């Protein structure tokens, strides 16, 4: 039995699969971004989430052979890494689980734990890849000075464009109307009260506004379209750097896949991403992800435990 946790800035998914790849239970909680909810909040969320998933599967914790906890921002602050790593020990022996960054489930799910790179553009952005035993990551420095191409980044630029459209620095387009309608604004400045005061500049809440930027782009807003084009450029830079770190030769094919909410925008992000990858140094092939990220976390748990699934086992799990 393998337990996988795919944490994120907006939601945290839990899954248990057996050695034949059968899904026994799934569960979902809110964000596991400890910078936003605190370490105590993270502990409560993970412990409660695992217990609820075990109950759904009608299993006890000692029946889990291995678990992988993919968590946002894990490994990015050495002062708290030991505290985070110890949280699952409330439920499992230390020998039966491992914690890692949430970039790993994205890679494991997108490529089935095979050589290549996965670019995550969810609430934050990061790339992770493996190539012949070498591992590499790029990006993922947080929303204050990084996370380029992420949902938070797209939404932040969308909000910035709204302010410019409101006070005349940009020509008003569908983005202005959609944001004004979303917040039911009679006074445009009231958006500051909502985002900064009521929301306390919540990373996850701001990131959800990226959907409005996508709607504006689909409505032909040139500023919103440019935001997604710029996001594709930034994600390409992250992918290129990951390729170099992994040691791929320039003429060697690099399989690239993707995960995260930004890609729900489909062609708005995939078309420019394909374009910039074709112009980049390297030989990139963009492919659709094989599985959902939470499934990738369970597949990675199985891999760490030395279990290999057959092709038939995994067919039912594919997207």
CA gap 141, 148 in Å, rounded? 9
Indicate the domain borders of the chain.
2-112+291-315, 114-289
Burial class (CB in 10 A: 0-12, 13-18, 19+), 255: middle
Q: Which fold has domain 2-112+291-315?
A: Nucleotidyltransferase; domain 5 (3.30.420)
The predicted structure's pLDDT at residue 313: 83
Q: By the 8 A CB rule, do 128 and 137 touch?
A: yes
Q: By the 8 A CB rule, do 109 and 292 touch?
A: yes
Residue 177: closest CA among 160, 165, 164, 191? 165
Rounded to an integer, what is the distance from CA 234 to the centroid of its chain?
16
Element containing residue 228 per DSSP (H, E): helix 222-246
CATH topology agreement for domains 2-112+291-315 and 114-289: yes
The predicted structure's pLDDT at residue 315: 83
Q: By the 8 A CB rule, do 151 and 208 touch?
A: yes
Q: By the 8 A CB rule, do 17 and 2 touch?
A: yes
Q: For the domain with range 114-289, which CATH number is right: 2.40.160.10, 3.30.420.40, 1.10.357.10, 3.30.565.10? A: 3.30.420.40
Residues of the chain with confidence (pLDDT) below 50: none
The predicted structure's pLDDT at residue 75: 92
The predicted structure's pLDDT at residue 52: 98
- Token output for 153: 């980044």
Q: By the 8 A CB rule, do 23 and 15 touch?
A: yes
The predicted structure's pLDDT at residue 310: 85
Q: How many CB atoms lie within 10 A of CB 185?
A: 15
The predicted structure's pLDDT at residue 193: 97
DSSP 292-310: -HHHHHHHHHHHHTT----
CA gap 310, 157 in Å, rounded? 44
- Token output for 306: 């030395």
Q: Which residues pair with 12 in a beta bridge?
A: 29
Per-residue H/E/C for the chain: CEEEEECCCCEEEEEEECCCCCEEEEEEEECCCHHHHHHHHHHHHHHHHHHHHHHHHCCCHHHCCEEEEEECCCCCCCCCHHHHHHHHHHCCCHHHEEEEECHHHHHHHHHCCCCEEEEEECCCEEEEEEECCEEEEEECCCCCCCCCCCHHHHHHHHHHHHHHHHHCCCCCCHHHHHHHHHCCCCCCCHHHHHHHHHCCCCHHHHHCCHHHHHHHHHCCCHHHHHHHHHHHHHHHHHHHHHHHHHCCCCCCEEEEEEECHHHHHCHHHHHHHHHHHHHCCCEEEECCCCCCHHHHHHHHHHHHCCCCCCHHHHHCCCC
- Token output for 86: 């110890």
- Token output for 285: 């092939």
The predicted structure's pLDDT at residue 245: 98
């Amino acid at each position: 039995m393998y337990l996988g946790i795919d944490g994120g800035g907006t939601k945290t998914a839990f899954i248990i699969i057996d050695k034949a790849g059968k899904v026994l239970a799934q569960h979902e909680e809110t964000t596991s971004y400890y910078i936003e909810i605190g370490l105590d909040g993270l502990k409560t969320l993970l412990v409660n989430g695992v217990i609820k998933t075990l109950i759904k599967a009608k299993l006890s914790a000692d029946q889990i052979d291995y678990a992988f906890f993919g968590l946002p921002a894990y490994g990015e602050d050495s002062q708290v890494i030991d505290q985070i790593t110890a949280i699952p020990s409330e439920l499992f022996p230390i020998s039966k689980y491992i914690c890692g960054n949430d970039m790993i489930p994205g890679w494991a799910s997108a490529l089935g734990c095979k050589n290549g790179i996965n670019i995550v553009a969810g609430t934050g952005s990061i790339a992770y890849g493996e190539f012949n035993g070498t591992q590499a990551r790029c990006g993922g420095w947080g929303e204050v000075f990084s996370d380029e191409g992420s949902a938070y980044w797209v939404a932040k630029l969308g909000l910035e464009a709204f302010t410019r459209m409101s006070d005349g620095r940009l020509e008003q387009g569908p983005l202005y109307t959609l944001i004004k309608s979303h917040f039911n604004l009679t006074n445009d400045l009231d958006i500051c009260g909502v985002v900064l005061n009521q929301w306390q500049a919540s990373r996850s809440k701001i990131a959800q506004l990226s959907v409005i930027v996508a709607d504006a782009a689909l409505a032909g807003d040139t500023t919103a379209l440019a935001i997604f084009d710029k996001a594709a450029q930034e994600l390409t830079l992250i992918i290129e750097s990951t390729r170099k770190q992994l040691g791929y030769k320039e003429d060697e094919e690099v399989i690239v896949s993707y995960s995260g909410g930004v890609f729900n925008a489909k062609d708005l992000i995939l078309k420019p991403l394909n374009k910039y990858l074709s112009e980049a140094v390297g030989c990139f092939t963009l492919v659709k992800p094989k599985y959902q990220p939470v499934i990738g976390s369970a597949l990675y748990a199985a891999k760490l435990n030395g279990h290999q699934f057959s092709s038939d086992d995994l067919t039912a799990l594919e997207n």
